Amino acid sequence: MAQFIVVTTKEEQEEVLQVLRTLKSKTVPVSKIAKLAKLKPTRTRYVLEDLVDAGKIKRNIAKAFNPHYIRYYYEVLEDK
């Protein structure tokens, strides 16, 4: 199976972190986070994954409708 790696920039990560700080752990779709950060939704998904892997944010389950449809909220762990 083919794999590809998407590298996100520090600027993109900081934009998403700023948006998550203003949302204060509210459950919102990735598309809204992307709109507020002025990024594309697919790019925002990669940024969120990188931030989770770096330990800067935590992804928590807000509501699990079934194993394939889960809503998340993001908690900022590292503040300035």
For residue 1, what pLDDT is reported? 82
Question: Which residue carries 């794999």 as its tokens?
Answer: 3
pTM of the model: 0.89
Q: What confidence tens digit (pLDDT) does each residue in 5-53 have?
A: 889 999 999 999 999 999 998 999 999 999 999 999 999 999 999 999 9
**What fold, for 10-76?**
Arc Repressor Mutant, subunit A (1.10.10)
Domain ranges for the chain, please list them: 10-76
For residue 76, what pLDDT is reported? 95
For residue 79, what pLDDT is reported? 62
Show Cβ contacts of residue 76 under 8 Å, excluding neighbours closer than 6 positions: 17, 20, 21, 56, 57
In this predicted structure, the answer to whether residue 72 has a pLDDT above a threshold of 90 is yes
For residue 8, what pLDDT is reported? 94
